[in-house]
Structure 1
Amino acid sequence: MREVIIPTDATARFNTAVDAVVDADKGASGFVLAYGQAGRGKSVAADQYHFQRGGAYVRVWEGWSQSAFLQRVLFEVRGKNGELPRSTANRSKQQIVELLERDRKPLFVDEADRLAISRIEDLRDIHEMTGVPIILIGEEGIFGLLSERRRIWSRVAHEVEFGPISPAEVALYAMQAAGLNIPPDQCARIAERAEGDFRLVRNMILLLEKTAKAAESFDVDASMLDTIFSARTWRRK
C-alpha cells in the first residue's frame, strides 16, 4: 500500500487559516487553534504545511518543564543546528525572540493540550515580542486549557476543527493508496466502524488490500468488508 496524503476539507481550511496569519502584518497576526479527536489528521496537515512552506515545528513531550520546552523551541527555531541548547528558560526565550525578529516564521506546537498553561503564556510572550503566528494543534482538551486565560483567547485568530473522515474521503484514500474500488455504501460502513478515525481507516484499507490481492479483485464488496470487520474489534477505546 502506498503512503499518500489525500486532500480534505479540514486540511484546506487549516492551510487557509495559517496562510492568513502568516501573510498578516505583525500587529494583525495571532494564534491558530487546530483541534479534534485523535486520528483526525491534525498532525498530518500541520506537518505537511511545515514541510512545504516552512516554519518551526515542536512536538510536545509529556511533563516538559519550562526550560525543557523553551530549549526545544529554540532548537527548532534555530534550525536544528548543533546540540540541544542547555541555557536557562529566560535565556532560551530571549534567543528565540531574537531569532524570530530576524526571520519571522510560523511556530507549530503539536499536542499542545499536553502543555501547562504557563507554557502557553511563554508562547504568548514570544508572539507579543515578534508577531510570529503560533499554531496550536491538540485534542479538545485544549479548550479547557486556553479558557483559563482570556488574554490568550483574545489572540486566537482562527479555529479549525478536524472532524471525522467522510465516506467520500474513504473512497479517495482507498483508491489512491491501494487501488481499491469501494462502493459509497461500503465506504459509509468503514467510516462508521472507524468512528471517523483515519488511522483505523488506514488499517482497514491495508487488510482490504491483502484480501483483494488474494481474491484477485480490487472491487470491494460487502462480504470482503464483513471479513475485515470480523478480524478485530476496531474499537477506538
Structure 2
Amino acid sequence: MRKAFVKTENYGRFVASVRQVEQRGAAEAGLMLVHGLPGLGKSHVADRWAVETGAVYLRAKVDWTPRYFMRDLAHELRTVDPTGTSQQLFTRLSEHLARTQQALVIDEAEFTLAQGAKTLEKIRDLSDFAEVVVVLIGMERIQKMIAKHGQIHSRIAQAVEFTPVTLDDVRFACSVLSEVPIADDLAGEVHRLSNGRMREVLNIISTVERVAIANSMATANLEAFSGMALSFDWQSRKQKVVRAVNGGK
C-alpha cells in the first residue's frame, strides 16, 4: 500500500477551524477542541498537521503532572533546558513559544483533567502567556468533562467533532493508497464494512490490495471479492463479509 496522507472532509474542517482560532479576537482564547469516537482519524490528522506546520505534538500520559508535562514539552522542543524549578521551566517554555509561535497538539487530552485539571490549567497558562494555539484531542466525552472547568472552557475558540468518513473520502483513499485499482462498487463495501472509521478503512484497503496482488487481479471489484471476509468485528466476534453478488465467490 502506498504511503500517502488522505485529506478527508474531517481534515478540511480541522484545518479551517485552526485558521479560525489563529484569527481569534481574544488572544487568550487560543484553545481548540477536537473530539469524536475512536478510529475516526483524529490523531492521524493532528499529527500530520503538526508535521506540516511545525507544531509540537505530544501524547498526554496517564500520570502527567504540570511539571511532568513541561519536562516532556521541553524534551520535545530540544532547545529548552528541562531542569530547574517549575517556575523557571515555565518561563523558558513560554518565552520559547512566544518567540517561535509554535502551536501545541495534546493528544489523549483526557489525561490532563486529573487532579482538578491542574495539568490542563498549566497548558492553558502557556497558551495565555505565549498567545499560541493549543489543539486538545480527546474522545467524545471530553467536551462535557472540560465544560466543568469554566476558566478553561471559556478559552476554547473552536470545537471540531470528527464524524465517520464519507463514501467520497473512502473512494479517494482507495485511489490514493492502493497499488491495485479498487472499483467504486468495492469501495462502497469498504465504506460499509468500516462504518466510516478511517482506521478500519486503511486496514481493509491493505487487505484488498494484498488479495488482489496475490491473485494477479488487474482491478479489485465487488464481484471478485463477493462473500469474502475483509475485517473482523471484535465486539460481536464476527467476520465482516463483502455482500454476495451473482457470479461472485
Instruction: Give the TM-score normalised by the residue count of structure 1.
Output: 0.86
- Aligned partner of 2:141 in structure 1 is 141
The separation in 2 between residues aligned to 1:130 and 1:139, in whole angstroms, is 27
Structure with the greater alpha carbon radius of gyration: 2
The separation in 2 between residues aligned to 1:168 and 1:133, in whole angstroms, is 31
> Cα distance, 1:223 vs. partner?
4.9
SS in structure 2 opposite 1:27?
coil
The separation in 2 between residues aligned to 1:124 and 1:206, in whole angstroms, is 40
Is residue 2:202 matched to residue 1:205? no
User: How has the CA–CA distance of structure 1 residues 143 and 193 changed in structure 2, closer, same or farther, with 3 Å as cutoff?
Assistant: same
> Cα distance, 1:85 vs. partner?
2.0
- Aligned partner of 1:169 in structure 2 is 169
Is residue 2:2 matched to residue 1:5? no
The separation in 2 between residues aligned to 1:209 and 1:112, in whole angstroms, is 35
The question of whether the paired residues in 2 share the 8 Å contact of 1:182 and 1:220 is answered with: yes
The separation in 2 between residues aligned to 1:139 and 1:212, in whole angstroms, is 35
Percent identity, aligned pairs only, is 25
- Aligned partner of 2:62 in structure 1 is 62
1:123-160 deviation digits (Å, cap 9, x = unpaired) = 11112222111111111131132012112111111111
User: How has the CA–CA distance of structure 1 residues 228 and 154 changed in structure 2, closer, same or farther, with 3 Å as cutoff?
Assistant: same
SS in structure 2 opposite 1:226?
coil
Report the count of equivalent residues: 231
Unaligned runs of 5+ in 2: 237-249
> Cα distance, 1:177 vs. partner?
0.8
> Cα distance, 1:20 vs. partner?
2.7
- Aligned partner of 1:233 in structure 2 is 232
> Cα distance, 1:226 vs. partner?
2.6
Is residue 2:111 matched to residue 1:114? yes
For residue 228 of structure 2, what is the amino acid of its counterpart?
T
96, 113, 134: which one aligns with 1:99: 96
Is residue 2:131 matched to residue 1:131? yes
Unaligned runs of 5+ in 1: none
- Aligned partner of 2:181 in structure 1 is 180
User: How has the CA–CA distance of structure 1 residues 67 and 236 changed in structure 2, closer, same or farther, with 3 Å as cutoff?
Assistant: farther
For residue 112 of structure 1, what is the amino acid of its counterpart?
A
The separation in 1 between residues aligned to 2:141 and 2:226, in whole angstroms, is 34
1:36-77 deviation digits (Å, cap 9, x = unpaired) = 12221111221222111222221112222222111112333x
The separation in 2 between residues aligned to 1:129 and 1:172, in whole angstroms, is 41
Instruction: Give the TM-score normalised by the residue count of structure 2.
Output: 0.83
> Cα distance, 1:235 vs. partner?
3.4
SS in structure 2 opposite 1:125?
helix
1:146-197 deviation digits (Å, cap 9, x = unpaired) = 012112111111111111122221221112111332324x433322322222
SS in structure 1 opposite 2:188?
helix
SS in structure 1 opposite 2:137?
strand
